[in-house]
Chains A and B, each alone.
Chain A
Amino acid sequence: MRHFKTMLYPYLVWIGVMIVVPMLMIVMYAITQKGNDVTTFRFTLDNFAYFFSDAIFLDVLKRSLWIAILTTIVCILLGYPTAYFIANAHPNWHMRMVLLVTIPTWINMLVRTYAWMGILQDDGIINSFLGLLGLEPIKMLHTSFAVVLGMVYNFLPFMILQIHTSLTKMDKSLLEAANDLGADRLQRFLRVTLPLSMPGVISGITLVFLPAVSSFFIPKLLGGGQFVLIGNVIESQFLTSGNWNFGSAISMIMAVIIMISMYITKKVDRNVDERGV
């Protein structure tokens, strides 16, 4: 069976070419000047300096982080109870609920985000309904509310499913033990269920924060042209203004921010664990 390992070799070439080389090209472009060619590289850190010296870009960065953090928090607050209810639902309903939460994620994100445009419009369904009640219309489309709503809508199922998995994996006899030892409902939840479901929350945070901070079509469709997040800046550097070096530098900055956030999340989780013990 040893010679089966040669079956991996073509794939090694493939990932080298299709995954590693493009990643190296991003780094290469980020640390070189615009307009160089294969023979003359001029290394520079100007692309990074340009980003951090411009108040506009720093504002974009701050807004992206703020929107992504807000989205993540809302997803935890809505996702945790949902996952908890599903995990404790009647066995007959359990799988059906999971399926109902999963189905929307399989439907094209663009299509679902596009639907919100019609719902949130100034003369859309929600405002027509408010009109029937005799209330003033509220401007929703092209606000940060619409962007956060769109992100929560698209990414909440990921949070629910992650927490749900960790809740169902939990050993139920631990709760009985806690009960026997005299813990009440709230104590059982806070001291047993919550700490044991933290891994689910952590991977949920990863699955929500990462696409939220880098998203560009949700802010474009629901936030309008003026609502610029870091993903939109990257998009425009590559597809309209054509400054690949600067665009690469921004995406590296974004990647570093994501890595730092993941590191902090894991660290906080570990500290909570230690305190719990």
Chain B
Amino acid sequence: MKEKPRIFSKLWMAVLLAFFYAPILYIIVFSFNGNRSLTHLNGFSLQWYEKMFSSNDMMDAVFYTIAVALIATAVSTVVGTISAIGLSKSNKVLKATVEHINDLPIMNPEIVTAIGLLMFFSALGVKKGFLTMVLAHIMFCTPYVMLSVSPKLRSLDPNLADACMDLGATPWQALTKVIVPQIMPGIISGALISFTMSFDDFIISYFVTGNGVSNISILVYTMSKRVNPSINALSTIVILLITVVLLLINMIPILKERKRVK
């Protein structure tokens, strides 16, 4: 009698995972298609990969996506960590205010944040493109870094830094040698969230960019109007990259655990 629901739940999960992975599999299979069709397979070829690597638009988009993601991750991780430490020592009113403002880009629909930034950059007269995209990405990534660092700070002993300084450490030493190492897991997960958020962003990037600067998402959006199987090739590479990174992240704790056991 207990077997019946087990079979049902296994079947349910199988169908659901098929639904989740069918489009991903579809992209990978059709990236090796022998002809232009997006609906019928016709032999195996690598022509779409060749076309992708020889397309300036696509290579530029890959470059911009990675460059923006790296810069935004680096800046927002540093800024977010510093600000989270400052926030943890601030009074209640300031804390609540900053947390509420940080919530705005997280809770608002992305399109609202996007049009706000579009009008803001236009009012300043900043030329829209790479710089505006980087600034916007730093803006929406930093709150996530703070969200993942703050809980680690809360679990620290509030007297920890004072204890260090009583023992002769300068505030800088207390910060870099004691506090930062303690909150490192939070900083790393904040950085990873930032990188993937920035790497995958479409809506905000789409509104604040200009002058031909596109990331991968914008490129897919503008190219999807015409049949272009190179998008599948590009997407396949993106999928493989992200999957490898995700598996590594999930493997690291397991590998560490094994080492400890040995």
| Interface hit among B52-60, B99-107, B182-190 | B99-107
Could you tell me if B38 and A7 are in contact, using CB atoms closer than 8 angstroms?
Answer: no
Q: How far is the CA of A242 from the CA of B88 in the complex (A)?
A: 43
Could you tell me if B242 and A107 are in contact, using CB atoms closer than 8 angstroms?
Answer: yes
Chain B, residue nearest A101 (CB)? B20
Chain A, residue nearest B16 (CB)? A82
Chain A, residue nearest B163 (CB)? A1
Could you tell me if A117 and B102 are in contact, using CB atoms closer than 8 angstroms?
Answer: no
Interface residue tally for chain A (C-beta within 8 Å): 76
Indicate if A57 sits at the interface (CB-CB under 8 A).
no
Indicate if A55 sits at the interface (CB-CB under 8 A).
no
Chain B residues with CB under 8 A of A33: none
Could you tell me if B12 and A85 are in contact, using CB atoms closer than 8 angstroms?
Answer: yes
Q: How far is the CA of A107 from the CA of B200 in the complex (A)?
A: 7
Could you tell me if B83 and A26 are in contact, using CB atoms closer than 8 angstroms?
Answer: no
| Contacts across chains A and B counted by CB atoms under 8 Å | 212
Chain B, residue nearest A247 (CB)? B115
Could you tell me if A111 and B238 are in contact, using CB atoms closer than 8 angstroms?
Answer: yes
Chain B residues with CB under 8 A of A170: none
Q: How far is the CA of A206 from the CA of B11 in the complex (A)?
A: 28
Chain B residues with CB under 8 A of A19: 101-102, 104-105, 139
Indicate if B89 sits at the interface (CB-CB under 8 A).
yes
Indicate if A99 sits at the interface (CB-CB under 8 A).
yes
| Interface hit among A41-49, A251-259, A264-272 | A251-259
Chain A residues with CB under 8 A of B105: 19
CB of A86, distance to nearest CB on chain B (Å): 8
Could you tell me if B116 and A115 are in contact, using CB atoms closer than 8 angstroms?
Answer: no
| Interface hit among B42-50, B66-74, B215-223 | B215-223
Could you tell me if B39 and A26 are in contact, using CB atoms closer than 8 angstroms?
Answer: no
Chain B, residue nearest A150 (CB)? B23
Given contacts A82-B12, A85-B12, A128-B39, are A107 and B111 in contact (CB under 8 A)?
Answer: no
Chain B residues with CB under 8 A of A3: 171
Indicate if B118 sits at the interface (CB-CB under 8 A).
yes
- Interface membership of chain A positions 199-214, coded 1 if the CB is closer than 8 angstroms to chain B and 0 otherwise: 0000000000011011
Indicate if B250 sits at the interface (CB-CB under 8 A).
yes
- Chain A contact surface mostly: helix
- Interface membership of chain B positions 161-181, coded 1 if the CB is closer than 8 angstroms to chain A and 0 otherwise: 110010000010011000000
Q: How far is the CA of A235 from the CA of B13 in the complex (A)?
A: 37
Given contacts A3-B171, A11-B86, are A22 and B12 in contact (CB under 8 A)?
Answer: no
Chain B residues with CB under 8 A of A116: 23
Given contacts A238-B115, A251-B112, are A107 and B24 in contact (CB under 8 A)?
Answer: yes
Could you tell me if A117 and B224 are in contact, using CB atoms closer than 8 angstroms?
Answer: yes
Chain A, residue nearest B241 (CB)? A107
Q: How far is the CA of A114 from the CA of B85 in the complex (A)?
A: 41
- Interface membership of chain A positions 93-128, coded 1 if the CB is closer than 8 angstroms to chain B and 0 otherwise: 000010111111011111110111111010111001
8 A Cβ contacts from B1-55 to A: 9, 12-13, 16-17, 19-24, 26-27, 30, 38-40
Could you tell me if B221 and A121 are in contact, using CB atoms closer than 8 angstroms?
Answer: no
Could you tell me if B112 and A210 are in contact, using CB atoms closer than 8 angstroms?
Answer: no
Q: How far is the CA of A115 from the CA of B31 in the complex (A)?
A: 11
Could you tell me if B161 and A1 are in contact, using CB atoms closer than 8 angstroms?
Answer: yes
Q: How far is the CA of A109 from the CA of B217 in the complex (A)?
A: 8
Chain B residues with CB under 8 A of A112: 23-24
Indicate if A133 sits at the interface (CB-CB under 8 A).
no
Could you tell me if B115 and A248 are in contact, using CB atoms closer than 8 angstroms?
Answer: yes
Indicate if A169 sits at the interface (CB-CB under 8 A).
no
Could you tell me if A103 and B16 are in contact, using CB atoms closer than 8 angstroms?
Answer: no
Indicate if B79 sits at the interface (CB-CB under 8 A).
yes
Chain B residues with CB under 8 A of A248: 115, 119
CB of B235, distance to nearest CB on chain A (Å): 4
Q: How far is the CA of A100 from the CA of B243 in the complex (A)?
A: 11
Indicate if B246 sits at the interface (CB-CB under 8 A).
yes
Pick 21 A–B contacts, CB within 8 A, sort by A: A5-B89, A8-B94, A14-B139, A18-B139, A22-B117, A23-B116, A25-B119, A81-B12, A85-B12, A86-B13, A103-B242, A107-B238, A107-B239, A114-B224, A119-B22, A213-B109, A216-B111, A234-B111, A244-B119, A248-B115, A251-B115
7 more A-B contacts (CB under 8 A) besides A5-B90, A21-B120?
A8-B86, A8-B89, A23-B104, A100-B20, A103-B246, A118-B26, A221-B221
**3 closest Cβ pairs, A-B complex:** A8-B86, A22-B116, A7-B86
